């Protein structure tokens, strides 16, 4: 029972947990319905293949009594005596045939069971995973802000796999246990209820021991998992930062830290192992006790029955016990141990599956925070007028507080205008643009496109109208062609090349090993920051949106390349509303309007010349950039120093 993947994470996503009802029942009702046939066939096959397993020991008992000891006449339950052969040879052949038949049937039913049951679990899981992914993808951006990618993945992977593990193995085994152990117990009680009392005691005792064991070992496995997790993240961190480790010659200290984590893992494992190795001997002892009791009581009874010990004690009256029956009992008793060993684990697996199910149901049932209003209409024929009306916004921090990022920002932009957005780092420029795409909703005030509040138009039509090139563009694993074409499925090669040319990407793309077919993104060819930006600009250009947002889109390219891109973008931005966020002020020098944002407030607005004449923040920033002043005013430096990066910084 190793600490397999997918068993952790109970404590994560507490907020996602479905509050009411039984999640497994709900998932079963919704996703199991389509799989009824597989479920039914698998379940029935499991029951009958289990019953086939009970036959051999029973037949052996019949054979011993009829052929070896001659204690009982040849009889089979539910079979009329008239149809049974009279001759011992015929009886023997019949028994052997039933025995052989039961093995063949058992194997065939086992196969049917695995086929149907695995099919059920896989299809169930597939449907749940796809729906969970879809529900997750629809969640608002802030859902992802507060979580690490790995955490989000854990629902789609671990939790869904947890369900699969439970459905494929535990549920099936559980049904098997009920019928195998229950069947054996019932047969024993029916054949001789007095001797049947022993399994009636020993089966619950084994089940209880198994449950107690799992309850004890469970927290120990959790500790092992968390120790593995810590060790892994430490190794990952160290390997990722190997350059830093080497350059600061901290190898010895890092080895010590890894040794410490490894030691914690060893201790946690040893603790779990110490408990685990007690389990099996305990079950063996309990089973042996049942076996011994059956042997002693049954043996005594058989001897009385055969007249070897005189009259029976008071309890041992009733029909006598034959040697063959005793053998059947003894064989059954030994077989309790294996299935009952799994009993506690199944209960435990159910608890895990239920917890995983609750998170999945929570995810499926929570409506996205940002979604179309009931009466949302499409934004048609977009002209590109943008209006911010007293907009305030703050991010929700993980501890539930709100951090104010934008305060009462108001401005209008006419269709086709080029707007430069400048200001110190952390001033809120990216955030301001994210409100335009409705990645977040303003807390106060309104953002309007063509006079319509973005909250009253459909998300799809709004985002279709906006092209966004982010600071750190993301390239998917795939070819350059696919990455550019992502914004417009079905775009022709000519259109893709034209977009790449406009973005200044064509020249370097054709120089790549396979040109537009070169694989990029994670595990692909590594492009430089500037090259990624240009592919990303090409992607936005291809989309041909009415409103274009360039968020530091050329920050990673050199001045010459930027000039080339600017030149080729000139036509592009001419007939659409464009917002260009830039630290390098020369980028936005020729903008129709420059908005200067400082600490969440719009402090200046005008053309480059207006703002220089005004001699405010913009003029100061400009002079620093052209080298006219050596240092920024002290007040500005103090504020920059006090700016502390927040989670989410840099990933916009």
Q: Which residues bind ligand ATP (CB under 6 A)?
A: 145, 395, 405, 423, 425-431, 645-646, 648-649, 652
Beta strands in 243-356 (DSSP E): none
Which phi and psi (to 5°) does residue 486 adopt?
A: -55, -35
Shortest Å distance, C-beta 108 to ligand ATP? 58
Collect all residues with Cβ–Cβ distance below 8 Å to 428 and sequence separation of at least 6.
Answer: 405, 406, 597, 599, 600
CB nearer ligand ATP, residue 412 or residue 649: 649
Cβ(407)–Cβ(423) under 8 Å? Answer: no
Shortest Å distance, C-beta 643 to ligand ATP? 7
User: What is the total residue count of the chain?
Assistant: 652
HEC string of 472-524 equals CCCCCCEEHHHHHHCCCCCCCHHHHHHHHHHCCCHHHHHHCCCHHHCEECCCC
Shortest Å distance, C-beta 631 to ligand ATP? 20
How would DSSP label each residue in 62-116?
HHIIIIII--S----TTS-GGGS-SSHHHHHHHHHHHHHHHHHHHHHHHHHHHHH
Cβ(485)–Cβ(491) under 8 Å? Answer: yes
CB nearer ligand ATP, residue 312 or residue 648: 648
Cβ(481)–Cβ(410) under 8 Å? Answer: no
Shortest Å distance, C-beta 537 to ligand ATP? 17
CB nearer ligand ATP, residue 127 or residue 141: 141
| 470 closest CA partner among 554, 373, 371 | 554
CB nearer ligand ATP, residue 530 or residue 600: 600
CB nearer ligand ATP, residue 101 or residue 650: 650
CB nearer ligand ATP, residue 269 or residue 430: 430
Beta strands in 354-479 (DSSP E): 386-396, 402-413, 418-422, 444-449, 452-453, 466-469, 478-479
Shortest Å distance, C-beta 433 to ligand ATP? 8
Shortest Å distance, C-beta 212 to ligand ATP? 46
Q: Edge to edge, what strands does the sheet with 386-396 contain?
A: 402-413, 386-396, 444-449, 452-453
Q: What tokens does 88 get?
A: 């011992």
| 5 closest CA partner among 154, 151, 118, 187 | 154
Shortest Å distance, C-beta 534 to ligand ATP? 19
CB nearer ligand ATP, residue 332 or residue 440: 440
Cβ(224)–Cβ(3) under 8 Å? Answer: yes
Collect all residues with Cβ–Cβ distance below 8 Å to 544 and sequence separation of at least 6.
Answer: 467, 488
CB nearer ligand ATP, residue 74 or residue 395: 395
Which phi and psi (to 5°) does residue 335 adopt?
A: -85, 0
Q: Is 651 helix (H, G, I), strand (E, B) or coil?
A: coil
CB nearer ligand ATP, residue 544 or residue 601: 601
Shortest Å distance, C-beta 437 to ligand ATP? 13
Shortest Å distance, C-beta 614 to ligand ATP? 21
Shortest Å distance, C-beta 475 to ligand ATP? 20
CA–CA separation, 391 and 411 (whole Å): 10
CB nearer ligand ATP, residue 502 or residue 602: 602
């Amino acid at each position: 029972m190793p600490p397999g993947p997918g068993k952790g994470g109970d404590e994560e996503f507490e907020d996602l947990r479905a509050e009411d009802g039984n999640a497994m029942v709900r998932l079963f009702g919704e996703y199991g319905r389509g799989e009824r046939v597989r479920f039914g066939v698998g379940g029935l096959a499991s029951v009958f293949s289990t019953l086939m397993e009970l036959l051999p020991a029973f037949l052996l008992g019949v054979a011993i009594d009829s052929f070896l000891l001659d204690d009982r006449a040849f009889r089979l339950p539910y079979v009329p005596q008239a149809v049974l052969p009279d001759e011992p040879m015929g009886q023997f052949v019949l028994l052997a045939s039933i025995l052989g038949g039961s093995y063949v049937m058992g194997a065939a039913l086992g196969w049917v069971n695995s086929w149907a049951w695995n099919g059920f679990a896989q299809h169930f899981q597939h449907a749940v995973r796809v729906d969970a992914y879809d529900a997750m993808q629809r969640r608002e951006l802030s859902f992802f802000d507060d979580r690490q990618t790995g955490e989000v993945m854990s629902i789609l992977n671990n939790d869904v796999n947890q369900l699969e593990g439970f459905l494929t193995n535990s549920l099936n085994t559980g049904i098997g246990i009920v019928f195998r152990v229950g069947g054996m117990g019932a047969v024993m009680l029916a054949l001789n209820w007095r001797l049947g009392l022993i399994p009636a005691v020993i089966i619950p005792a084994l089940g209880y021991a198994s449950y107690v064991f799992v309850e004890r070992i469970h927290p120990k496995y959790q500790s092992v998992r968390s120790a593995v997790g810590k060790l892994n993240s430490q190794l990952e961190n160290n390997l990722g930062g190997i350059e830093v480790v080497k350059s600061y010659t901290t190898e010895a200290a890092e080895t010590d830290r890894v040794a410490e984590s490894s030691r914690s893992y060893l201790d946690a494992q040893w603790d779990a192992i110490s408990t685990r190795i007690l389990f099996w001997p305990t079950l063996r002892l309990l089973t042996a006790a049942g076996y011994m009791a059956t042997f002693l009581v049954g043996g005594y009874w058989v001897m009385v029955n055969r007249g070897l010990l005189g009259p029976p004690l008071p309890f041992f009256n009733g029909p006598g016990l034959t040697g063959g029956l005793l053998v059947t009992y003894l064989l059954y008793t030994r077989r309790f141990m294996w299935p009952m060993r799994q009993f506690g684990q199944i209960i435990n697996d159910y608890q895990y599956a239920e917890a995983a199910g609750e998170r999945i149901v929570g995810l499926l049932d929570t409506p996205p925070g940002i979604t179309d209003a009931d009466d949302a209409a499409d934004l048609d024929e977009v002209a590109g007028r943008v209006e911010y009306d007293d907009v305030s916004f703050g991010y929700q921090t993980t501890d539930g507080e709100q951090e104010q990022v934008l305060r009462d920002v108001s401005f209008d932009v006419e269709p086709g205008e080029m707007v430069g957005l400048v200001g110190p780092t952390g001033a809120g420029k990216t955030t301001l643009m994210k409100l335009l795409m409705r990645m977040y909703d303003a807390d106060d005030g309104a953002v309007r496109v063509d006079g319509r509040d973005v909250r009253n138009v459909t998300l799809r039509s709004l985002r279709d109208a906006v092209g966004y090139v982010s600071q750190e563009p993301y390239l998917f694993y795939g070819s350059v062609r696919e990455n550019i074409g992502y914004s417009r499925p079905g775009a022709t090669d000519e259109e893709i090349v034209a977009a790449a040319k406009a973005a200044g990407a064509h020249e370097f793309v054709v120089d790549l090993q396979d040109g537009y077919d070169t694989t990029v993104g994670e595990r692909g060819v590594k492009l430089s920051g500037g090259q990624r930006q240009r592919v990303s600009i090409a992607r936005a250009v291809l989309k041909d949106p009415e409103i274009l947002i360039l968020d530091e889109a050329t920050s990673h390219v050199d001045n010459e390349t930027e000039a080339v891109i600017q030149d080729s973008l000139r036509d592009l931005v001419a007939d659409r509303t464009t917002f260009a966020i830039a630290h390098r002020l020369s980028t936005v020098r020729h903008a129709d309007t420059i908005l200067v944002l400082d600490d969440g407030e719009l402090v200046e607005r005008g053309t480059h010349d207006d703002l220089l004449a005004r001699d405010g923040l913009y003029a100061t920033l400009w002079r620093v950039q052209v080298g006219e002043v050596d240092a920024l005013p002290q007040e500005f430096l103090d504020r920059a120093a006090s700016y502390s990066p927040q989670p989410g910084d840099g990933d916009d």
